[in-house]
Amino acid sequence: MAKKSVASLQKGGGKEFTKVVVTTKSAKTGAYTFKEGMVHNDKVKEFVAEATK
């Protein structure tokens, strides 16, 4: 299954997207949380800035 999804991203416009994972540490508990998403290459910096707020 994973090979099919990866292969489908390599065709057409799939190369224009990047999977971004942002890690943040909670000040209250010390636990890590993750926010991830498929973002267009032009908007990666915006996604990271928004996720770190």
How far apart are the C-alpha atoms of 53 and 47, rounded to whole Å?
10
Which pLDDT value is given to residue 32?
A: 93
Task: Work out whether the CA dihedral 40, 14, 16, 36 comes out positive or negative.
Answer: positive
Residue 52 has pLDDT above 70, yes or no: yes
Q: pLDDT digit string (tens) for 9-37?
A: 566 666 888 999 999 898 899 999 999 99
Residue 3 has pLDDT above 60, yes or no: no
